[in-house]
Amino acid sequence: MKKINQFFLSISRREGYNLIDRFTNEGINLIFLVGEVGVGKSRFIQHIPEALPYFEVVILGQFYENSEIFFRSILKELGYQDESFSKSDMIHTIAQHATDLIPEGKRLLLVVDDVSGISPDIVNDLVKLFDFEYEGKKILSVMLSSSNVDFHLIKEWETTYFSYIKNSVIYLKPFNKQETIQFFKQACEQARIDLSEFSENDMIEVYRHTEGIPYRISKIPELLNSFGIMGKITIKDVQSIIKSTNIIKNNSYGTTKKRFNINFIIISALIVIGIVVAFSFYNREIKKVEEVEKKPIDKPIDNQHPVDIVKNDNSSIEYNNIKVKEVEKKQNITKPEVDKSCIKLKANLKVRLAPSTDSSFKTVAPKGSVLSILDKKDEWYKITYNGITGWVKGTPDLVKNVECNK
């Protein structure tokens, strides 16, 4: 790990500067710098001139109401003080300044430290600077910095304003464990805090609490000083600071805890919804069963499939090799009285599976057949013919009641 003055250059930071250099050399003129809050994007940006001295860097880090104010701020950083410039004049002046740097081996880099500080209208005017070229190459580079939360803005602009511009992303990662320890030691040294009593496990504890976020790491010695704690400290002092302040606690292990709580709430809600849906489905199925028990089977069975009626005393039929129990009324409802006599058919009648003309039939009982009545429903008689149980229509013109075996 290198050091630029008092700035710690971690592996990810060094890679970030190398990527800026590589991207601009490859003609990628729009760079998105992304990282979570506190990871050190602003610090990274401030040290670009030191890490990459051949860039003339203009850092724009405040809220801008409109394009005029935005471009005037750029010109002021470049040393132009003329307040009479129109927006078009300002764009051309910036472009000319960038062009003049190229023969000197330098390049203009405009950095917006926080994309939430600019509007889409400003972005729309900013991309006009990419219309200018020198020897077939764009004359400048632009870097837009964003937290993970605001990255959706960049993605929206990418499709709206940046579709024709080569761009790439630099993700600024937190420090790893070793980098966290080194950065913490440096920050404590600057705050005149002695870590001689810290063990390796104590340092790992610092990493666990800060998750490698530079802001959180540097905040610990700062808070220790604010409480008047200097000189030799122990891990208990650090733990005490973390417990007594919201900044570190909420931003470190509190983050993980918050994520856990959110996930727990979501999972719990899904479980409750699942139980409610299952209970609702169960009640619906119970009602269906009750309705089936109250209502005789009157739907036809497909005529195209063979149906074999098995013994009636089992109260079941076999349909495509599947045995289906007939549902009988089990409530205290009086069944209609059954005529125990027989009927004689006045015509050839279809023996149907249910008491309905819509029901399919298995066979035909010929005229003159005398059949025992098993059950009756309205004008239908349940009978058995040649071992097949079914229903025949029993209107007076079709059947007549006779005594059995007569």
Q: How far apart are CA 233 and CA 218, in angstroms?
A: 16
* pLDDT in 10s for each residue of the chain, 406 residues: 444 334 455 667 888 899 999 998 899 999 999 888 888 898 899 999 999 999 999 999 878 989 999 999 999 999 998 888 999 999 999 999 999 999 999 999 999 998 888 889 999 999 999 999 998 899 999 999 988 777 788 888 888 888 888 888 988 888 889 888 988 998 898 889 999 999 999 999 999 988 888 888 888 998 888 888 888 988 888 888 877 765 554 443 444 444 445 556 677 777 878 787 776 766 666 666 555 455 554 444 444 444 333 334 444 444 344 444 443 444 444 444 444 589 999 888 888 888 988 888 878 888 888 998 999 998 899 998 888 899 999 888 888 888 886 5
Q: Which of 186, 253, 184 is nearest to 220 (CA)?
A: 184
> Please, what is the angle between helix 87-101 and helix 67-78, to 10°?
30
Kindly state whether residue 281 falls inside one of the protein's structural domains.
no
Which of left, alpha, beta for 148 (phi over 0: left; psi -120 to 50: alpha)? Answer: alpha
Q: How far apart are CA 144 and CA 109, in angstroms?
A: 11
Kindly state whether residue 67 falls inside one of the protein's structural domains.
yes
Last residue in a domain, options 191, 219, 254: 254
Last residue in a domain, options 171, 204, 226: 171
Kindly state whether residue 287 falls inside one of the protein's structural domains.
no
- Considering the domain architecture, whether residues 86 and 162 belong to the same structural domain is answered as yes
Instruction: Note whether 307 and 319 are within 8 A (CB).
Output: yes
Kindly state whether residue 237 falls inside one of the protein's structural domains.
yes
Location of structure tokens 């632009």: 142
Tell me the CATH number at 246: 1.10.8
- Considering the domain architecture, whether residues 205 and 164 belong to the same structural domain is answered as no
Last residue in a domain, options 217, 236, 254: 254
The whole domain housing 215 covers 177-254
- Considering the domain architecture, whether residues 22 and 100 belong to the same structural domain is answered as yes
Kindly state whether residue 344 falls inside one of the protein's structural domains.
yes
- Considering the domain architecture, whether residues 121 and 104 belong to the same structural domain is answered as yes
Kindly state whether residue 32 falls inside one of the protein's structural domains.
yes
- Considering the domain architecture, whether residues 144 and 199 belong to the same structural domain is answered as no
Q: How far apart are CA 13 and CA 179, in angstroms?
A: 11
Token pair, residue 253, equals 């292990």
- Considering the domain architecture, whether residues 242 and 362 belong to the same structural domain is answered as no
Kindly state whether residue 213 falls inside one of the protein's structural domains.
yes
- Considering the domain architecture, whether residues 235 and 145 belong to the same structural domain is answered as no
- Considering the domain architecture, whether residues 122 and 9 belong to the same structural domain is answered as yes
Location of structure tokens 């729009």: 30
Kindly state whether residue 205 falls inside one of the protein's structural domains.
yes
β-pairing, 380-385 vs 375-377, is: antiparallel
- Considering the domain architecture, whether residues 120 and 160 belong to the same structural domain is answered as yes
- Considering the domain architecture, whether residues 317 and 200 belong to the same structural domain is answered as no
Q: State the total domains in the chain.
A: 3
pTM for the whole structure: 0.54
Location of structure tokens 């700035």: 7
- Considering the domain architecture, whether residues 245 and 313 belong to the same structural domain is answered as no
Tell me the CATH number at 96: 3.40.50.300
Please give the biggest Cα pair distance in the chain: 126
User: To the nearest 10°, the Cα dihedral for 388, 389, 393, 399?
Assistant: 70
Q: How far apart are CA 80 and CA 97, in angstroms?
A: 10
Tell me the CATH number at 362: 2.30.30.40
- Considering the domain architecture, whether residues 118 and 15 belong to the same structural domain is answered as yes
Q: How far apart are CA 127 and CA 112, in angstroms?
A: 13
What letter does residue 386 receive in the DSSP assignment? T
